[in-house]
């Protein structure tokens, strides 16, 4: 039984798609489906024309003819994210043809490619295609490098292929098994793009899996054990603190949140040194709340099951750290994840209780549902003690964040303009959406306590996300650049906007930005 459980974990967290890059012409290829990218012509006259002019390159005359005929009949427009499956076309050794639009080739971005590839993956999934080949030569010639193109296409397919059916007893094995990227010229930059995409997708999908597992099957100790297991064979060092250690390390605020649960907390510490010891590390901190019932300030029952995702910040940090280690980046990084449940057991925090954090600051717990800040604060104090170059924390911290920005943009808070620029650049390069939010002394004032130094609830109205950020700021040394990312709106159910994310389930938001941030270091 224990053995069975182990195997199922391994199977569901590993990518089983075999990806290869070959130098070949399409005539020699054997595959269930061939994916061809097309773009739109964009001159004024062409835009006005009754039937769109679609550009297709790097494919056989027969495929070109098929595309023009489909354009003529209105089946294809070449618009970005359009993916049309033509069944049983039998061009050379391929059975079906999938034509994917990229929009206008001019100004094509990596993210458009990633999303368009994801639309191809949706067709692959719905037609239960086992092996697919991508005609890389068909991707319109643009300013994007071969590495960027290969990475974006591969990520689009691999991220879109993720599904969570671990607990269905009648699992159907009908997913994509083999993906072949076919190019007439294969070089190092294609290979690099492919490798990067494989690592990033694997780590994002692993992080999604951590998030998708329900509370009873992703407890703090399971989260820690899975991290240790996933880091095997890499240079990522993982140490795990148990409840006694958390207590002796004076993390009284974090500990207090865990007391209402029968599950013991864990503090997961990850370290990777890819640069000289003299180089200060980047420190990532993530909220690992494996189930948030609200505690004594209990949440309404409708939708409470979604609070299994309250560890997505922690999962993002774990995914980021694994990817950095697997990509062997030349940086030093530390990842910290306080992991606990928030439950209303007999020893739980009660409204009005006063707890003491690792830096000695006292906090009134005026709402036990504002627990994320009570576990992150101790982790942030520990992070500062490591003297990092920068701290980035990520958390499903406030419902107010989802109200403010919805499920596309992740709100982030920092008072450091230089750091903000670096974050914006990393997000843009990775194809994620972030939005800077205000953080001022006014927000900090609202977090002062009546009977203790701080309250975990704002005394003011509104700005719930900014006041939460201002609370966290009280635990970060002023001279360390710091930013806080609130992924409450973007951590799950984002597939309506981003085609490579699941419609329902964890998205893996912010991991790609965090990895890119380390790459840019
Ligand atoms: N985990 C929640 C935040 C959350 C809510 C994330 C909905 C995603 C969707 C957090 O612990 C919480 O409950 N925050 C409270 C804070 C309030 C009591 C000050 C909230 O947002 O209501
Ligand atoms: Zn809560
Ligand atoms: Zn929470």
From residue 78, give the alpha-carbon distance in Å to each of 67, 155, 174, 213, 338: 10, 21, 29, 38, 47
Q: How far is the CA of 400 from the centre of ligand 1 (A)?
A: 8
Lowest-pLDDT range of 9-13, 46-50, 271-275 = 9-13
The residue whose C-alpha atom lies closest to atom 7 belonging to ligand 1 is: 399
What is residue 5's DSSP assignment? H
Q: How far is the CA of 341 from the centre of ligand 1 (A)?
A: 14
- pLDDT tens track for 392-403: 999 999 999 999
From residue 326, give the alpha-carbon distance in Å to each of 18, 195, 329, 442: 18, 10, 8, 42
Does residue 89 have a pLDDT over 60? yes
Beta bridge partners of 356: 362
The residue whose C-alpha atom lies closest to atom 3 belonging to ligand 1 is: 398
**pLDDT value of residue 53:** 85
Identify the residue with better confidence: 412 or 107: 412
Residue whose CB lies within 8 A of the most ligand 1 atoms, among 293, 398, 458, for a mutation test: 398
Q: How far is the CA of 293 from the centre of ligand 2 (A)?
A: 7
Does residue 1 have a pLDDT over 90? no
Atom of ligand 1 nearest to the CA of 372: 11
Residue whose CB lies within 8 A of the most ligand 1 atoms, among 292, 343, 371, 399, for a mutation test: 399
Residues with CB under 5 A from ligand 2 (ion): 292, 369, 371
Contacts of 436 (CB under 8 A, 6+ apart): 411, 412, 413, 414, 420, 424
Residue 114 contacts residue 134 (beta carbons within 8 Å): no
- Radius of gyration of the chain from Cα atoms? 24
Lowest-pLDDT range of 1-15, 75-89, 412-426 = 1-15
Q: How far is the CA of 205 from the centre of ligand 1 (A)?
A: 25
- pLDDT tens track for 430-472: 999 999 999 999 999 999 999 999 999 999 999 999 999 999 9
Atom of ligand 1 nearest to the CA of 292: 1
**pLDDT value of residue 50:** 65
Report residue 484 as tokens: 């806080």
Residue 246 contacts residue 267 (beta carbons within 8 Å): yes
Name the closest ligand to CA 367. 1
Residue 320 contacts residue 517 (beta carbons within 8 Å): no
Confidence of residue 49 (pLDDT cuts 50, 70, 90): low
Atom of ligand 1 nearest to the CA of 491: 8
Q: How far is the CA of 369 from the centre of ligand 1 (A)?
A: 7
Buried b / exposed e over 290-322, threshold 16 CB at 10 Å, is bbbbbbbbebeeeeeeebbbbbbbbbbbbbbbb
Q: How far is the CA of 399 from the centre of ligand 1 (A)?
A: 5
From residue 284, give the alpha-carbon distance in Å to each of 333, 362, 383, 391: 8, 24, 8, 6
**pLDDT value of residue 8:** 38
Name the closest ligand to CA 461. 1
Phi, psi of 270 (to 5 degrees): -120, 140
Residue ranges around ligand 1 (CB below 6 Å): 292, 310, 367, 369-372, 396-400, 402, 457, 464, 488
**pLDDT value of residue 2:** 40
**Can you list the domains of the chain with their CATH numbers?**
5-184 (3.40.220.10), 206-349+379-445+463-519 (3.40.630.10)
Give the separation between CA 438 and CA 446, rounded to whole angstroms. Answer: 14
Lowest-pLDDT range of 50-54, 58-62, 490-494, 498-502 = 50-54
Name the closest ligand to CA 488. 1
Mean of the pLDDT values across residues 197-226?
Answer: 98
Average pLDDT, the chain: 95
Q: How far is the CA of 474 from the centre of ligand 3 (A)?
A: 19
Residue 186 contacts residue 134 (beta carbons within 8 Å): no
Name the closest ligand to CA 309. 1
Give percent of the chain with pLDDT exceeding 70: 95
Contacts of 302 (CB under 8 A, 6+ apart): none
Confidence of residue 47 (pLDDT cuts 50, 70, 90): low
Give the separation between CA 397 and CA 394, rounded to whole angstroms. Answer: 8
Mean of the pLDDT values across residues 319-347?
Answer: 99
Contacts of 98 (CB under 8 A, 6+ apart): 33, 34, 35, 36, 83, 84, 85, 86, 120, 123, 124, 132
Mean of the pLDDT values across residues 60-70?
Answer: 96
Does residue 6 have a pLDDT over 90? no
**pLDDT value of residue 236:** 98
**pLDDT value of residue 12:** 45
Give the separation between CA 377 and CA 70, rounded to whole angstroms. Answer: 58
Residue 416, CB half-sphere, CA atoms under 13 Å: how many? 18
**pLDDT value of residue 172:** 77
Mean of the pLDDT values across residues 207-221?
Answer: 98
Atom of ligand 1 nearest to the CA of 457: 19
- pLDDT tens track for 105-163: 998 999 999 999 999 999 999 999 999 999 999 998 889 999 999 999 999 999 999 99
Report residue 378 as tokens: 């101790």
Contacts of 445 (CB under 8 A, 6+ apart): none
Predicted TM-score (pTM) of this structure: 0.96
Residues with CB under 5 A from ligand 3 (ion): 289, 292, 310, 372
Q: How far is the CA of 397 from the centre of ligand 1 (A)?
A: 6
**pLDDT value of residue 219:** 99
Atom of ligand 1 nearest to the CA of 458: 19
**pLDDT value of residue 205:** 98
Residue whose CB lies within 8 A of the most ligand 1 atoms, among 260, 351, 370, for a mutation test: 370
Mean of the pLDDT values across residues 350-366?
Answer: 98
Catalytic residue annotation: 299, 373
Atom of ligand 1 nearest to the CA of 397: 3
Identify the residue with better confidence: 265 or 43: 265
Name the closest ligand to CA 456. 1
Separation of CA 463 from chain center? 25
Q: How far is the CA of 404 from the centre of ligand 2 (A)?
A: 18
Phi, psi of 51 (to 5 degrees): -110, 135
């Amino acid at each position: 039984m224990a053995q069975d459980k182990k195997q199922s974990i391994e199977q569901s967290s590993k990518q089983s798609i075999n990806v290869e890059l070959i130098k070949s012409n399409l005539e020699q290829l054997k595959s269930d489906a061939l994916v061809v990218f097309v773009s739109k012509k964009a001159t004024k006259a062409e835009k006005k024309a009754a039937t769109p002019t679609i550009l297709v390159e790097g494919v056989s005359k027969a495929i070109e003819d098929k595309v023009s005929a489909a354009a003529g009949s209105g089946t294809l427009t070449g618009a970005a994210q359009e993916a049309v499956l033509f069944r049983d076309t039998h061009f050379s050794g391929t059975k079906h043809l999938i034509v994917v639009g990229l929009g206008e080739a001019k100004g094509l971005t990596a993210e458009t490619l990633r999303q368009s590839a994801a639309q191809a993956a949706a067709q692959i999934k719905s037609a239960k295609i086992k092996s697919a080949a991508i005609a890389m030569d068909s991707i319109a010639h643009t300013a994007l490098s071969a590495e960027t193109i290969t990475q974006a296409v591969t990520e689009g397919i691999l991220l879109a292929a993720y599904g969570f059916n671990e607990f269905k007893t009648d699992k159907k094995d009908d997913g994509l098994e083999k993906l072949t990227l076919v190019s007439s010229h294969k070089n190092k930059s294609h290979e690099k793009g492919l490798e990067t995409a494989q690592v990033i997708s694997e780590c994002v999908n692993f992080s999604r899996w951590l998030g998708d597992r329900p509370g009873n099957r992703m407890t703090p100790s399971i989260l820690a054990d899975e991290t240790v297991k996933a880091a095997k064979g890499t240079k990522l060092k993982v140490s795990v603190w148990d409840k006694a250690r958390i207590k002796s390390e004076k993390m009284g605020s974090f500990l207090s949140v865990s007391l209402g649960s029968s599950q013991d907390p864990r503090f997961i510490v990850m370290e990777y040194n890819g640069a000289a010891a003299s180089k200060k590390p980047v420190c990532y901190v993530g909220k690992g709340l494996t189930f948030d019932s609200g505690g004594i300030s209990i949440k309404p029952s409708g939708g409470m099951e979604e609070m299994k995702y309250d560890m997505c910040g922690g999962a993002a940090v774990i995914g980021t750290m694994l990817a950095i280690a697997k990509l062997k980046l030349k940086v030093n990084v530390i990842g910290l994840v306080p992991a606990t449940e928030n439950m209303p057991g007999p020893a739980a925090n009660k409204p009005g209780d006063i707890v003491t954090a690792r830096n000695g600051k006292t906090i009134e717990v005026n709402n036990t549902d504002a627990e994320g800040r009570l576990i992150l604060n101790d982790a942030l104090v520990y992070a500062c003690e490591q003297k990092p170059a920068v701290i980035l924390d990520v958390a499903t911290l406030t419902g107010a964040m989802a109200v403010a920005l919805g499920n596309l943009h992740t709100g982030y808070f920092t008072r450091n303009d230089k750091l903000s620029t670096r974050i914006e650049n990393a997000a843009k390069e990775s194809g994620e959406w972030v939005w800077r939010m205000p953080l001022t002394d006014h927000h900090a004032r609202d977090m002062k306590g009546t009977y203790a130094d701080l309250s975990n609830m704002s005394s003011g109205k509104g700005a719930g996300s900014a006041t939460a950020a201002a609370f966290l700021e009280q635990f970060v040394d002023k001279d360390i650049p710091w930013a806080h990312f609130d992924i409450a709106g973007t951590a799950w159910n984002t597939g309506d906007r981003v085609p490579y994310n699941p419609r329902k389930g964890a998205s893996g938001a912010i991991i790609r930005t965090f990895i890119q941030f380390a790459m840019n270091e």
